Amino acid sequence: MTRQKRMVTLSLTLDELLAQSPWFARLDDAAKARVHTEVSERAVAAGQSLGHHGERQHAWFGVLEGLVKWSITARDGQTVTLGGQSVGSWFGEGTLIRNAPRESDLIALRDSRVAQIPRATFNWLREQQPSFNEFLLLQVNERLHWFMGAVAAHGLLDTDSLVARALVGMVQPLSNPSGAAHVSLSQEELANLAAVSRQTCNKAMTRFKNSGLVRTEYGGIVVLDLPGLSALAG
């Protein structure tokens, strides 16, 4: 009987996530105390939604464990995946700033845990902490740039480039603040993020490995040549 390999999972506590978040380090003591008091944790099972299109969002999210993807489903049922969020990343600020219903779905690709900062606390930080607004401005700008590229990619790129782009997306700072070259990601999850079949993703990864761009190892994927992979991603 073949023993199935288990993914090596990264896991943070609420205190650990806050301690390594640049925006938190720049808050004054009163603001830090309020965040510590009001942040909470939520578990999201694999395949479950953290937020549906059309829903009101009541919190800003940080990933403590697992993997969450952004996706949009058209009326004909076609799904476009915009990207993923891994451990240490924060997301959902755009919807809160707009104060409008969600325009995408947030789905856990594996059993996940997320931190939640209430909308009222998020808005208070924006009003009282200039450094927090500076962080949000940079993050929103980077996310907009990435999402615009993702939408264009699905109409212009071949499948290898889609897989490369999905993998690059998981090592860029918005999704992977630690900057680690090792990504705790299975090829099935990568195929989901790239919106291609598992077989198509496996073939692309074989070509990437043969070209020296990546290697696979127990628990994930190691990016060996990020510039080369980025060039392929378009």
The CATH number linked to 198 is: 1.10.10.10
pTM: predicted TM-score of the whole model, two decimal places: 0.77
In a domain, 40, yes or no: yes
* pLDDT per position as a tens digit, 165-178: 888 888 876 666 66
H-helix or E-strand spanning residue 116: strand 112-118
Residue 160's closest CA among 205, 217, 227?
205
- Whether the pLDDT of residue 41 is over 50: the answer is yes
Residues 78 and 177 both lie in one domain: no
Residues 145 and 60 grouped into a single domain: yes
Contact 229, 213 (CB under 8 A): yes
The domain in which residue 123 lies consists of 10-156
Buried b / exposed e over 76-92, threshold 16 CB at 10 Å, is eeeebbbbbbbbbbbbb
Joined together, the tokens standing for residue 11 give 């896991």
Are 211 and 140 found together in one domain? no
Give domain status of residue 2, yes or no.
Answer: no
Give the chain's domain count. Answer: 2
Say if 1 falls within a structural domain. no
Q: What is the CA radius of gyration of the chain?
A: 18
84 and 180 co-located in one domain: no
Answer yes or no: do 24 and 121 share one domain.
Answer: yes
Is 67 within 8 Å of 124 (Cβ atoms)? no
Kindly tell me if the per-residue pLDDT of 40 is higher than 90: yes
In which element (H, E) is residue 6 found? none
Evaluate whether residue 5 is within a structural domain: no
